[in-house]
Amino acid sequence: MKAVYPGSFDPPTNGHLDIITRASKLTDNLIVAVLNNPSKKPMFTVDEKIEMLKELTKDIPNVKVASFSGLLVDFCKQNDCKIIIRGLRALTDFEYEFQIALTNKTMDKDIETLFMPTDTQNLWLSSSVVKEIATFGGKYDAMVPKIVKDRLEEKVNKGEC
Ligand code: ADP
């Protein structure tokens, strides 16, 4: 079974990494797909996100990192993939995720979205929270891998955020 785990990953957090690790055990091949959407004004470029994700997943042989723009269902088709993995945190994620899943299903009935519940320790963890803490000099060591923290600090020190 081949699956795609799409997202903004701006930046990747321990929450993302947990979903990737668990999903990789259930699938033969997992593509972590970084959405290229400049209108979201991301802190990290797609190339930076890909670099970080490749480094973070280098020891998981069945994980591949790629980027996509446009419709996710088209990316799935191009990669011969019928499963989309999404992580769910608190109930607040549910309505949004349900809407996207049903929309994707309407566009391509062969594609299934599978939801994985977050690990309890990542329940309130999001990329935006991490960015906010980093910008204001707070402590967030437990939220992201070390290489992501170093990159974030570099951005903050350079005044790029
Ligand atoms: P998007 O902009 O597509 O929501 P994100 O990078 O914010 O992109 O999230 C990608 C996926 O990872 C989504 O399915 C999201 O629910 C999931 N996710 C994000 N943070 C966590 C977390 N702390 N625990 C589990 N899943 C998460």
Strand order in the sheet with 29-35: 63-68, 29-35, 2-7, 83-88, 112-117
What distance in angstroms lies between residue 137's CA and the mean position of ligand 1's atoms? 23
For residue 93, what pLDDT band results from cuts at 50, 70 and 90?
confident
Per-residue pLDDT at 6 exceeds 90: yes
At 54 the pLDDT is 98
Residues whose CB falls within 8 Å of the CB of residue 83, separated by 6 or more in sequence, listed in order: 1, 2, 3, 4, 27, 111, 112, 113, 114
What distance in angstroms lies between residue 35's CA and the mean position of ligand 1's atoms? 12
**Residue whose pair of structure tokens reads 């945190």 in the numeric block:** 89
For ligand 1, whether the C-beta of 118 sits within 6 Å is: yes
Vertex 15 angle, CA 33 and 91, to 5°:
100
Specify the pTM: 0.96
| Cis status of the peptide bond prior to 42, with omega within 30 of 0 | no
**Tens of pLDDT along 50-61?**
999 999 999 999
Residue 65: phi and psi, rounded to 5, are -115, 135
Cα dihedral sign for 54, 43, 143, 3? Answer: negative
For ligand 1, whether the C-beta of 122 sits within 6 Å is: yes
* Structural domains present in the chain: 2-157 (3.40.50.620)
Give the tokens for residue 107. Answer: 């566009």
Residues 104 and 73: beta-carbon distance below 8 Å: yes
What distance in angstroms lies between residue 40's CA and the mean position of ligand 1's atoms? 15
**Residue whose pair of structure tokens reads 């519940």 in the numeric block:** 117
Nearest alpha carbon, ligand 1 atom 8: 7
At 31 the pLDDT is 98
**Tens of pLDDT along 101-160?**
999 999 999 999 999 999 999 999 999 999 999 999 999 999 999 999 999 999 999 887
Residues whose CB falls within 8 Å of the CB of residue 58, separated by 6 or more in sequence, listed in order: none
Pairing state of beta strands 83-88 and 63-68?
unpaired
